[in-house]
A and B are shown apart, each in its own frame.
Chain A
Amino acid sequence: MTALLYVLLAIVFAVAIWQIASILNLKSAIATEKDNNTQGILFVAFGVFFYGLMVFSFWKYSVILLPEAASVEGERYDNLYLITMLLILVVQAITQFLLFFFAFKYRGVKGRKALFYADSHKLEMIWTIIPSVVLAGLVLYGLSVWNDVMDASDAENPLIVEVYAKQFQWEARYAGDDNELGLANVRKIKGINTMGVDMTDKNAMDDVPVRELRLPKGRKVIFKFRSQDVLHSAYMPHFRAQMNCVPGMVTQFAFTPKMTTEEMRANEETIAKVEGINKIRAEKGEEAYEFDYLLLCNKICGSSHYNMQMKIIVEEEAQFNSWLKDQKTMAQVVQ
C-alpha cells in the first residue's frame, strides 16, 4: 500500500511540474537567440562546477586513498599509475575546457552563418598519430610492469603459500620445509582437513595450514589460489595485487613485501588516513582502529561477500620464520 502511495506521489509531482510550466506559458520548443545566450553562459558555469568538483575531490578525498604500495612490484605499479593519471588529467583538462568554451563562444546568433568546414586531412592525421604515439609508450611501459608483476618464476627462492577461498572465509597453507605444496582436491575434504589436502602425498606432510596470513619482508612470495565453491577474488590492495580464485584450477600471483606492518603503520600517508578514520570512529563512539594489511574478497560470492576478509601481517624474515616454526604441520593437525 505504501508503495502505491509513493507511485501516486511521483505522478502528482509530474503533473505539478507540467502545470507550473504551463502557467508560465512556456509551451515553446525551439531555442531562441535568448536561449542560446543563457545556455551558453550556463555551460561556462557548468565548466566552473566541473573543474571545481575535480579540485574539491582531489583536495578533500586524497586522504582516503590507499597509502603507498607495500610491495616492490607495487612501487612500479604506482609509478605507472601516476604517469597514466597525469596524462589523463592533462587531456581531460584541455578537452573539457574546449568543449565548454566552444559551447559558450559559438552559441547561436541570428543571421550569423557557421563556417562550412567539413574536413581537414592534416587535423585528422594529428589526432590519429599523437594518441597512437602516446599509447604506444603507455602500452610498452605497461607490458613491462605487467610481466614483472605476473612473474611467478621461482628463481629467487620464493616462499610458496596457498590461499584458499570458500564462502565466506579465507584459509592459507604454507609449503613447509620442502617449500612444495602437497596435492589437494575438494574431494579429500574431511573433518579438520578443510582444504582437502591429499595426505598420501609426501609433500603434504610438512605443509602448514593457518587462518592468519603472515609474510616475510624482502622475500618474494608466490601465492597459489584455490576456491572450493564459487569464484572469489583475493584482493590485497596495499600490495596492488589481485587474483581470482577459481574452483577446479589453481591461479597464481607473486610479490615481494617491502614494508612490515609496523613500518606501514609509521608511514605518513597511513597515519593521516588512520587519523581520519579514528576521528569518524570517535564521533560514533567506536574504539580506535589500528592499521593492518588485509586480504579481501573482490568477486561477488554470495550473501556475506561483504565480510570475507583475512588479516595479513608482514614482519622481518627471522620473526616470520620463528612464527612459522611454531605452527602445526598438516601431519600434526590431521593426527
Chain B
Amino acid sequence: MSTHHHKETFITKYVFSTDHKMISKQYLVTGIFMGIIGVFMSMLFRLQIAWPEESFTIVEAFLGRHQDGGVMTPDMYLALVTIHGTIMVFFVLTAGLSGTFSNLLIPLQIGARDMASGFLNMVSYWLFFLSSVIMLISLFVEAGPAAAGWTIYPPLSALPQAMPGSGLGMTLWLVSMAIFIASSLLGSLNYIVTVLNLRTVGMKMVRLPLTIWAFFVTAIIGVVSFPVLLSAALLLIFDRSFGTSFFLSDIFIQGEVLHYQGGSPVLFEHLFWFLGHPEVYIVILPAMGIVSEVLAANSRKPIFGYRAMIGSIIAIAFLSTIVWGHHMFVSGMNPFLGSVFTFTTLLIAIPSAVKSFNWLTTMWKGNLQMNTATLFSIGFVSTFITGGLTGLVLGDSALDINVHDTYFVVAHFHLVMGVSAIYGMFAGVYHWFPKMYGRMMNKTLGYWHFWITAVAAYGVFFPMHFVGLAGLPRRYYSNTAFPLFDDVADVNIVITLFAILGGASQIIFLANFFISIYKGKKAEQNPWKSNTLEWTTPVEHIHGNWPGELPTVHRWAYDYSKPGHDEDFVVQTTPLLDGEEES
C-alpha cells in the first residue's frame, strides 16, 4: 500500500470502500439486517407451530396474500422455514460472521496495511449485497419465495407443479446463491493470500492468534466446497429451465408423465452436502476462533494447548470434507457408504472434545473478567457441548434412522451451530466493537442481552429434543392431522414462548449496538488489555492501519499473566526480556 492518499469522497469512503475496516462494518450491518429478518420469520412460524389454527394480526400484517384471516398458508409456512434457514446459514452466519471478522481482524492481527486485494474485497462485499437484495426481492414474487427447504432437494425444487415456491421464487433463490458463492470465493481467496503473504516481520504461522487460524482454515474449506454447490445450483438451473435430467427421472405429476429420465435426486444430495456439511464448519470455526481469543484474553491466561487447538482446527477442516454422507443415511445410498460415513463422522468428536476441554482448562485458575464478550464465550462452550453431544446420536447411521428429519435434528443443529455461532458472533461484536467504531457498548445492556438470550435458547432447544424423540417430523405445517402428536402441543407452546422471549431480547442488542455507535463511551486504545496487534493501532481509523512503520512481532499472542512481567499481558510487539523463553 502506498502512502500516497487521494482524496476520499463519501462514495469511496462509505459505499465503494476498499478499506477492510469499512468493508467489515458493511458486512456486519448487512448481516444484522438479514438476521433481523431471519429471526423475525422464525417468530412467525413458531406462532403457527404453537397455535396452528389461531389468527394473529401480526401474521395478517406481514404475510399479505399468503395468509387467510391471520392464519398463514401451508405454502407460506414452508417458505418461511426455507428462507429462515437460508438467511441464517448463509447471509448471517457465513457472510455476517466470517465476512465481518475475517475482514476486520486478518489485516489488523497479522500486521498488514489491508487485504491483499482491496478491490476484490470490495467486489466481494457488493456481490454479497446484491445476492441479499435478490433474496429479499424473492420474498415478494407472486407465488411466494422458494419453499422446498433450505436444502432445496429436487424434484420438489425443480418442478413448479410440485409447489408454488418452485417457480420464480426458486429461480431467484438460485441466482442469489450463485452470486453469493462468487462473493464468498472472492473473499476467501483474499483471506488465504493475505494470511500467507502479508504477515508482518516476526509473525510466524505459529505466532498467529487462533482467530486468524480459524479464519484462514475456514477460507480454505470455503474454496474447496462452495464451488461444488455452485455446480449443483447450475445443474439444477439446467434441469429447471433447459430440460436436462441431471437430478430428475421417471416423474408423474398432476396427471402427466414428464420427459425426464436417467437423473438422480441422490446426486444432488451428494453435491449439496459436499458443501452443506463443510458449511457448518465454515459457520462454527470463526466462532471458535473468536471464543478462543476472547476466553484467553478475559481469563488473563494463555489459551490452553495452542498447538493442539491449531491441530484440531485442521483436523476438523479435513474431516469436514469427508462426512457429508451422514446427512444421507436414509437417502437410499448404499448402506456400506453409511458405515464409512458413520466412522468418519464420529471421528470429528475427537478434535471437538479436545477443543472443549482446552477451553475449560483455559478458564481453570484464570482471573475471569466478566465482560459481555466473556459471557457469550462461556455460553458458546455450553451450547457447543450440549448440541455437539447429540451428534453422537445423529452421526451414528443406526441411530439416525429414527430421528432423521425430526425435531431432534432441529434441536441439535440449532444448538451446535446456530446458537453457538451466534454467541461467537455476539462475543466478537462486543469484544471488537471499540476497534470498529471507536466507542464501547453498554455493559449493563450486554448482560441483560446475554442472560435473557441464554435462558431463552435453552428454553427453546432443550425441550425440542423431546418433540423429536416423540417422532414429530420437522417442516410440518401443523400436527393436528395426527392425534398421536396431540401431547406435543403443550411442549410446542413452551418452546414458542421462549422463542418469542429470545427474539424480543435481541432488541436490547440492537438498541445497544446502534446507539453505541453514536453515543457510546469513547474507547481507549486497548480496552481489554489484549496482546494482539489490532490494539496497537490508533482508535481513529486510518488508511493503512498503522501511522508509521508496521509493527514487528516478537512473541505469540497469549502471554497473559506470564511470570517475570509486571502487567498481566504482554503485547506481541514486546521484545523478549533477557533470558525470557518464548512460550
B353 lies within 8 A of A248 (CB)? no
Task: Specify the chain B residue showing the minimal Cβ separation from A102.
Answer: B363
Q: Inside 8 A of B299's CB, which chain A residues have their CB?
A: 106, 114
Q: Is the CB of B378 within 8 A of A14?
A: no
| A210 close to B (CB within 8 Å) | no
> In the complex, are the beta carbons of A128 and B350 less than 8 A apart?
yes
Asked whether A323 is an interface residue with its Cβ less than 8 Å from the other chain, the reply is: no
A57 and B462 contact, CB distance less than 8 A: yes
Asked if B1 is an interface residue, CB under 8 A from chain A, the answer is: no
**Do B385 and A309 have beta carbons less than 8 Å apart?**
no
Chain B residues with Cβ below 8 Å from A266 are none
**Per-position contact with A for B277-308: 1 when CB-CB < 8 Å, else 0?**
00000000000000000000001111111111
The reply to whether B389 and A300 form a contact with Cβ atoms under 8 Å apart is no
Which B residues touch A120, using CB under 8 A? 304-305
Q: For B303, give the chain A residue with the smallest CB separation.
A: A118
A99-143 interface (Cβ within 8 A of B) = 99-100, 102-103, 106-109, 112-120, 123-124, 127-128, 131-132, 135, 138-139, 142-143
Identity of the chain A residue whose Cβ is nearest the Cβ of B523 in the assembled complex: A29
* Distance in angstroms between the alpha carbons of A323 and B446 in the assembled complex: 67
Q: Is the CB of B301 within 8 A of A92?
A: no
A244: B residues at CB distance < 8 A: 330-332
Query: What's the count of A-B pairs with C-beta under 8 Å?
Result: 419
| Cα distance A297–B475 in the bound complex, in angstroms | 11
Q: How far is the CB of B323 from the nearest CB of chain A, in Å?
A: 13
Q: List residues 266-304 of chain A with CB under 8 A from any CB of chain B.
A: 273, 276-277, 280-281, 286, 289, 291, 294, 296-304
Interface size class of B (residues with CB under 8 A): 35 or more
CB 8 Å contact bits of B38-53 with A (1 = contact, 0 = none): 0000000000000000
Q: Does A183 contact B (CB under 8 A)?
A: no
- Residues of A229-268 at the interface with B, using a CB-CB cut-off of 8 Å, are 229-231, 233, 235, 237-238, 240-244, 246-249, 251
Residues of A within 8 Å of B74, CB to CB, are 303-306
Residues of B within 8 A of A185 (CB): 250
Known contacts A106-B363, A146-B342, A298-B405; A29 and B397 CB within 8 A of each other: no
Most buried by B among A10, A40, A114, A301: A114
Complex Cα spacing A95 to B357, Å: 8
Given A10, A40, A306, which contacts B476 in the complex, CB threshold below 8 Å?
A: A306
CB of B11 within 8 Å of the partner chain: no
Q: Which of A95, A187, A240 has the most CB of B within 10 A?
A: A95
**Known interface pairs A46-B451, A96-B382, A142-B342; A114-B482 also in contact (CB < 8 Å):** no
Question: Hey, which chain B residues are within 8 Å of A139, CB to CB?
Answer: 342-343, 346, 396
Set of chain A residues within 8 Å of B552, measured between Cβ atoms: none
A283–chain B nearest beta-carbon distance, Å = 10
- A112-B343 Cα distance, complex, nearest whole Å: 46
Given contacts A21-B444, A118-B302, contact A300 B78 (CB under 8 A): yes
In contact, A87 and B466 (Cβ under 8 angstroms): no
In contact, B378 and A99 (Cβ under 8 angstroms): yes
CB of A39 closer than 8 Å to a CB of B: yes
The verdict on A320 contacting chain B, using a C-beta distance below 8 Å, is no
**Contacts of B386 on A, CB cut-off 8 Å?**
92, 96
Known: A64-B466, A95-B360. A53 touches B156 (CB 8 A): no
Of the candidates B252, B350, B385, B390, the one whose C-beta lies within 8 Å of that of A135 is B350
Q: Is the CB of B301 within 8 A of A117?
A: yes
Say how far B361's CB is from chain A's closest CB, in angstroms: 7
Question: Are the CB atoms of B304 and A118 closer together than 8 Å?
Answer: yes
Q: Which residue of A lies closest to B390 (CB)?
A: A88
A87 to B510 alpha-carbon distance, docked (Å): 40
CB of B200 within 8 Å of the partner chain: no
Contact of A228 among B252, B385, B483, B510 (CB under 8 A): B252
Chain B residues in 8 Å Cβ range of A231:
153, 155-156, 265
Within 8 A of A (CB), among B300-339: 300-308, 330-332, 335, 338-339
Interface status of A212 (Cβ within 8 A of chain B): no
Q: Which residue of B lies closest to A246 (CB)?
A: B332
A77 within 8 A of B: yes
Q: Which residue of B lies closest to A152 (CB)?
A: B335
* A42 in contact (CB, < 8 A): yes
A31 x B385 contact (CB < 8 A): no
Task: Compute how far the CA of A124 lies from the CA of B358 in the bound complex, rounded to whole angstroms.
Answer: 8
Q: Tell me the bound Cα distance from A42 to B447 in angstroms.
A: 10
- A124 pairs with B466, CB closer than 8 A: no
Top 10 A-B pairs, shortest CB-CB distance: A248-B249, A29-B440, A251-B332, A2-B61, A237-B471, A39-B370, A14-B511, A186-B252, A150-B335, A289-B483
Q: A65-B469, A128-B354, A229-B253 given. 12 additional CB < 8 A pairs? A: A15-B511, A17-B507, A27-B442, A81-B393, A91-B389, A115-B301, A119-B305, A146-B335, A248-B250, A280-B486, A300-B153, A301-B156
**Chain B residues packing against A (C-beta within 8 Å):** 57-58, 60-62, 73-75, 78, 148-149, 153, 155-156, 159, 162-163, 248-253, 257, 261-266, 299-308, 330-332, 335, 338-339, 342-343, 346-347, 349-350, 353-354, 356-357, 360-361, 363-371, 374-375, 378, 381-382, 385-386, 389-390, 392-393, 396-399, 401-402, 404-406, 434, 440-445, 447, 451, 454-455, 458-459, 462-463, 465-467, 469-471, 473, 475-479, 481-484, 486-491, 507-508, 510-512, 514-515, 519-521, 523, 527-528, 558, 560-563, 568, 583
**Listed A/B pairs (19) with beta-carbon separation below 8 Å:** A14-B514, A18-B511, A18-B515, A27-B521, A29-B434, A30-B369, A39-B447, A88-B392, A92-B385, A106-B365, A108-B300, A118-B583, A229-B155, A231-B155, A231-B265, A235-B471, A241-B402, A273-B487, A300-B475
